Chains A and B, each alone.
Chain A
Amino acid sequence: MSHEPPGDDALLRAVARGDSQALADLYDRHSGWLHARLTRRCSDPETVREVLQDTFVTAWRSADGHGGGAVGGWLWVIAVRRLADARRAAARAGSRDLLAARAPGTAPSAEEDVLAGLEYGDVGAALDRISPELRAVLRATVVDGLTTRETAHLLGIPEGTVKTRASRARRELRAALVALGPAGGAAC
């Protein structure tokens, strides 16, 4: 767990030079978690497969544009935008099943998981109390770092709705924190 792997940056520079072995290494490092993260946002395996493939092909072609930040974050931005594109294409094709699947995969909320994995204490418990649609908006804007417009693409809802849901999510989160008692306040 503590070993430091050879730098992602060097790998990406090799990719930019056209080294396909470096691309394979990059894929082995990052494809798994990207797949897991995408699957949480899209329940259609075929779409996830396409987005994953597009992400690495795009990385291959635009590796020289990488500005030097964290490679994982860079790949994720590509992937989540591709996912938004796929959603748009699906909305155009009228296949509502994809859109219907936009609610995040709701896993059984095990108390231990929340406490073990989460470093901001009761905020996690509060998050689990707000509705899945609101959480999806929060996740897209806060965790995935998308703009309002990109969030609208990803979730297949109008930008106005993104804004209303984001502010509702903040209100409900605050209410949930208050309901959870003073421990929530102490987490500040």
Chain B
Amino acid sequence: MTTETTVHVDGLTVRHRRTTALDALDLRIGRGVHGLLGPNGAGKTSLIRVLATVAPYRSGRLELLGVDPAVPAGRTSVRRRLGYLPQEFGHYPGFTVREFVAYMAWLKEVPKAAVPEAVERAMERVGLTGRADARIRTLSGGMVRRVGIAQAIVNDPELLLLDEPTAGLDPEQRVEFRALLRELGTTSTVLVSTHLVEDVATACTEVTLLDEGRVAFCGTSGELAAAGDDDAAGDSPTERGYTAALRRHRSARAASPEAAV
């Protein structure tokens, strides 16, 4: 399967007041499930919000699904084909699951006649069909998270951005969710930020490790696991790879701050 690049990021810089969240970041992502790892404050959420076209950026160039979201027409076209689950998932507690997912389908401009079926499909894929008419406020945290995933996939997005989607899911739900991710990854570009290394090891084909707004590592999850050495901290190969890659990146930056990218 040829992997065409669907997300081009060139020299992306994002600042929040005085701090630099993303520092001239370059990134290429294609179809498949792509993990975004990194310590807290590494810039994972900043990157996802920029890619979701909700956050502005200071400088750099973006190309999402072949169009430039800085141009209004391109922005609209990308947004129709985008799915986004923010870390803090704001919703309407008085809505039923079905109402909320249908509302998001309306916002995403899913053709009117296709909405009911799209809503059913999305609810089914996250295992919420049985609770379709339950109000969101009556659902458990894990189920609300699944509502978030359902709204993200209701338009069958080509680019799916999920910020910490497994937070609040119990282990069994997490396993199911990873299976769904792999399924979505066969035809879409899925970018998942997570702090759970095992999410990456089991669900992601590729991994980008961010540290202080820069790319510390980019490769397949197998390569990340192989990057670990015996004295790196961690309980699994991926965890050891994670700490080793982070350590290497930091020492390289300390040695020559300009050269490290």
Contacts and interface: CB of A to CB of B under 8 A. Distances in A.
Which among A65, A88, A152, A157 has the greatest number of chain B C-beta atoms within 10 A? A65
A149 B187 contact: yes
Interface stretch (B36-44, B52-60, B110-118, B249-257): B110-118
Interface string B90-122: 000000000000000000000011111101110
A65 B117 contact: yes
B183 A65 contact: no
B182 A58 contact: no
A127 B125 CA distance: 37
Contacts of A161: 2
Nearest to A85: B121
A160 interface: yes
A69 B111 CA distance: 14
Contacts of B31: 158
Interface in B1-32: 1-2, 4, 31
B166 to A, nearest CB: 17
Interface residues of B, number: 25
A69 B120 CA distance: 20
Nearest to B183: A92
B102 to A, nearest CB: 9
Interface in A129-169: 149, 152-153, 156-161
A50 interface: no
Interface in A89-126: 89, 91-92
Determine chain A's interface SS by DSSP, over half rule: helix
Interface in A59-96: 61-62, 64-67, 69, 77-78, 81, 85, 88-89, 91-92
A67 B112 contact: yes
B158 A149 contact: yes
A88 B2 contact: no
Contacts of A88: 183-184, 186-187
Contact of A78 (B117, B119, B182): B117
Contact of B1 (A69, A78, A81, A158): A158
A69 B52 CA distance: 35
Contact of A158 (B2, B116, B156, B183): B2
Contacts of B185: 92
Contacts of A61: 116, 120, 129, 132
Contacts of A69: 113
B179 interface: yes
A91 B186 contact: yes
Given A81-B121, A158-B1, A89 B116 contact: no
A65 B187 CA distance: 27
A81 B114 CA distance: 11
Nearest to A94: B182
B2 A65 contact: no
Given A153-B187, A160-B4, 8 more contacts: A58-B117, A61-B120, A61-B132, A62-B119, A92-B179, A92-B183, A149-B158, A158-B4
24 contacts: A58-B117, A61-B116, A61-B120, A61-B129, A61-B132, A62-B117, A62-B119, A62-B120, A65-B113, A77-B117, A78-B117, A88-B183, A88-B186, A88-B187, A91-B186, A92-B179, A92-B182, A92-B185, A92-B186, A149-B187, A156-B186, A158-B4, A158-B31, A160-B2
Interface of B: 1-2, 4, 31, 112-117, 119-121, 125, 129, 132, 156, 158, 179, 182-187
